[in-house]
A and B are shown apart, each in its own frame.
Chain A
């Protein structure tokens, strides 16, 4: 007998409304189905009735964590439509904010992963250090969430010598902290044991299902838009594409930690090689008829904007594909044949809490479907008996550093 459990769209543990319907066999997920659109705001339609300048601030509001990704992706596309060459210093500052955003997003993710794995202090430590990056972003742009740094032809705010020194000093702190977490996690067997082998996604599956970002790179595919299709000043910066071969949640954590270290190097390179000069060039208001396909490596993966202009000051069509949508088919594949208890880890930000609230008095056999009423103490006896008879194998887990 199959059980169907639905999760969301409104659930106390969900951060965003999404509906997930799972077909269960006992504790094992056999199939999962998604229904999206509970947070659909019609931004693509709205963008058609706004000017390019207005759309700059609309695209920023697509996401609250990678707001700069969407804005930069849109700005770069429109700059190509305008045939505009942005100011060099402006591009350096833009890239700097891109990388700072990646650092804050990855630290946030690490904390969430720690929390879902039951490692609460890890969560609190990483989020404390994330404040360092948030403070840097605050001093550069004046905002913590929507930086509004971009404009067509460059950026809107310059950074001065004091800010530059402040960022470099903070970077030392972040580096030491990240290295400390690396050692902490490497010597913490429960953390490694909880993450390894969970949410398997083979290399072939990841490619076929068009996964992006750290999810794809953790399955051993070195795809990074910053290397494949360099934008801003990434063709001048030395950095490595981080991958892992373990194809599980641990691999995804490893890729993100490695990317953090790469980001610190990129930020240091940018600040030490910051060119002098203007931060922006003047941009026209109207855009002639053309189309552009803009790609950007957001913290979560490849972000894509398709912009078509019609000769006026408004776009004819703006198509946005955020990295999370591209990763949904892969997430379904990860959930299949996994345990209910692994959903929070696989879905990272989602904590469904299916099992904990229920006091079971009636048991349906998962295969035959026959019902039987049991008291709580009988249930406890059964559980103890089951675990006494079961031979547990000790899991050999190694932190892959």
Chain B
């Protein structure tokens, strides 16, 4: 089954669950879904085509909202499933029940973008330091690094 056939099948099978599906480049399929229907779409892709390997989850700060892209890869093609979540209430569902290997990527999203992953089995910080101030999310576009003034021990 090639990428065009997958696009055809997705658009005929789960038309009511997705917003749009397109072939962005050879072997790259873009699927846009509502965040409420994400789990159903991932389940469908897993059962129908065997997309079990989640390469990573990318978060992008679009200003008003965050875009979260789930990159699923197999020998057939790569499917980028994207959802939007508003900045005022940045929640996304946890996909660990369908793809157990997603845990570290979801914890990374929580650390870096301040997204709230619902039903995540282990919500502890993964990457940020233990004394990192609460409410600061480094990969948001409005976050800037201010280097603290250097203090020389014993200096004046």
Task: Using CB atoms and an 8 Å cutoff, list the residues of chain A in contact with chain B.
Answer: 34-37, 40, 42, 44-45, 80, 207-211, 223, 227-229, 292-293, 295, 302, 304, 306, 308, 316-317, 319, 321, 325-326, 328-330
Contact = CB atoms under 8 A, between A and B. Distances in A.
Contacts, number: 84
Given A302-B55, A304-B71, A293 B101 contact: no
Given A42-B145, A208-B52, A304-B71, A319 B58 contact: yes
B40 interface: no
B78 interface: yes
Given A36-B126, A292-B25, A306-B56, 19 more contacts: A35-B126, A37-B129, A40-B127, A42-B145, A45-B138, A208-B99, A208-B101, A210-B53, A210-B99, A227-B75, A228-B74, A229-B78, A293-B28, A293-B78, A295-B55, A308-B60, A321-B55, A329-B100, A329-B103
A223 B52 CA distance: 12
A319 B113 CA distance: 13
B138 A210 contact: no
B14 interface: no
Give the interface centre of A207, A319, A326, A328 by most chain B CB atoms within 10 Å.
Answer: A319
A228 B103 contact: no
Contacts of A316: 60
A295 B73 contact: yes
Give the interface centre of A295, A302, A306 by most chain B CB atoms within 10 Å.
Answer: A306
Given A45-B138, A80-B25, A306 B75 contact: no
B128 A44 contact: no
B67 to A, nearest CB: 9
Interface residues of B, number: 35
B42 interface: no
Interface in B58-82: 58-61, 69, 71, 73-75, 78, 80
Nearest to B60: A317
A37 B75 contact: no
Given A35-B126, A40-B127, A223 B53 contact: yes
Contacts of B28: 293
